[in-house]
Amino acid sequence: MKKQLAAVISAFMTLALVFSLTACAPSKTENTGNTDAKKKIGIVQIVEHPSLNTIRESLIAELQAQGYKDGETITIDYQNAQGDQTNLKTIAQKFVSNKYDLIVAIATPSAQAVVSETKDIPILFSACTDPLGSGLVTDMEKPGGNVTGTSDAVSAEKIMELGKRITPDIKTIGALYNSSETNSVSVINELKAYAQKNNMTVVDATVTNSSEVQQAVTSLVDKVDALFSPIDNTVASAMPLVTQIANRAKKPIYVGADSMVKDGGLATYGINYQVLGKETGIMAVEILKGKKAGDIPVKTMKDMDIYLNKTTAKAIGINLSDDVLKEAAQVFEN
Ligand code: TRP
């Protein structure tokens, strides 16, 4: 009898053990495997354009690849300001009052809005051309405080050197940009220094929002030999229209980013934003795992590539040499 009872008890205990190992297993891994469960990330983007979308998608993919999946192990609140500064401020304030664990700011205007709202919540900026000149950090190696991020700094000089290889007779350059985007202003200053050294003249056409772009390009095209637009969010979001006007006037337009070439710009010497997005995702994971944002150096992309648009070249009657074509990382044809 005793033996039987012992057998029943031991069978029961085995069952209970099996049950606890199977039925309870999922909640166990959830609790012990990932202490970052349910952390909240706010992502703010200044405007909708292909390059910023690529960055966002690539960084979310990297988070997921490292086990931080939206709706499961983390919550992502993505907000787009539709190119409006007032919206940016509202979004930044909402993220701060919600006490999110991390704020990712895509592009300089978003980063500036968030940085002025909090000194506590970690901020990870993404694709900011000039983090120092834009007042985001005071030291690229040791940012300090609650801010770090990635930079997509490019060289106006290198872009124009490429421009001169494609269209050698440039004397006057029309600079098209939003004068309130500090990311653009620093590149334009570099362009002006380059022009001065090379006996060229720069004519400015500045805008304050995308609805002014059409008027600005139209008034500029006939006064210049080529157009130049830096990594400007306002111009990038109106790029197909800019291309139409420049092509009609048969003027080459040199730009700061691959997506602007895809949208009809003639050429750039720029960085890969998919890689930048991934790098930003890697930094986000470091912060989620407990590293202080200010202890992580700002990451600048080292590799630059040539991007060309063959359709635009044809439209304005330019022959891209085999040399330049061979050097290009990507040649768009639409
Ligand atoms: N560098 C821009 C900034 O600092 C953001 C940006 C990333 C961008 N990729 C772009 C702008 C492509 C125009 C086109 O705000």
Same domain, 169 and 200: yes
Which atom of ligand 1 is nearest to 259's Cα?
A: 12
Same domain, 235 and 281: no
Same domain, 248 and 288: no
Strands 226-229 and 201-207: unpaired
Helix, strand and coil content of the chain, in percent to the nearest 5, comes to 45, 20, 35
Q: Separation of 52 CA from ligand 1 center, angstroms?
A: 7
Three-class secondary structure of residue 307 per DSSP: strand
Residue 37 is predicted with a pLDDT of 52
Same domain, 165 and 191: yes
Pocket residues: Cβ below 6 A from ligand 1: 51-52, 107-108, 127-129, 152, 183, 231-233, 236, 257, 259-260, 273
Tell me whether residue 171 is in a domain: yes
Give this prediction's pTM.
Answer: 0.88
- DSSP E strands, 213-327: 226-229, 253-255, 267-270, 299-300, 305-309
Domain extent, residue 51, equals: 36-152+272-300
Q: Separation of 183 CA from ligand 1 center, angstroms?
A: 8
Same domain, 161 and 290: no
DSSP secondary structure code for residue 294 in this structure: G
* Closest residue to atom 4 of ligand 1, CA basis: 128
- What are the residues whose beta carbons fall under 8 Å from the beta carbon of 60, sequence distance 6 or more? 70, 76, 281
Same domain, 44 and 147: yes
Tell me whether residue 243 is in a domain: yes
Q: Tens digit of pLDDT for each residue in 35-67?
A: 545 899 999 999 999 999 999 999 999 999 999
Same domain, 87 and 184: no
Tell me whether residue 110 is in a domain: yes
Tell me whether residue 14 is in a domain: no
pLDDT higher than 60, residue 33: no
Tell me whether residue 319 is in a domain: yes
Confidence band for 227, pLDDT divided at 50, 70 and 90: very high
Task: Identify the CATH number of the domain in which residue 86 sits.
Answer: 3.40.50.2300
CA dist., res. 97 & res. 111, Å (int): 17
pLDDT higher than 50, residue 215: yes
Q: Separation of 60 CA from ligand 1 center, angstroms?
A: 18
Tell me whether residue 240 is in a domain: yes
pLDDT higher than 50, residue 223: yes
Domain count, the chain: 2
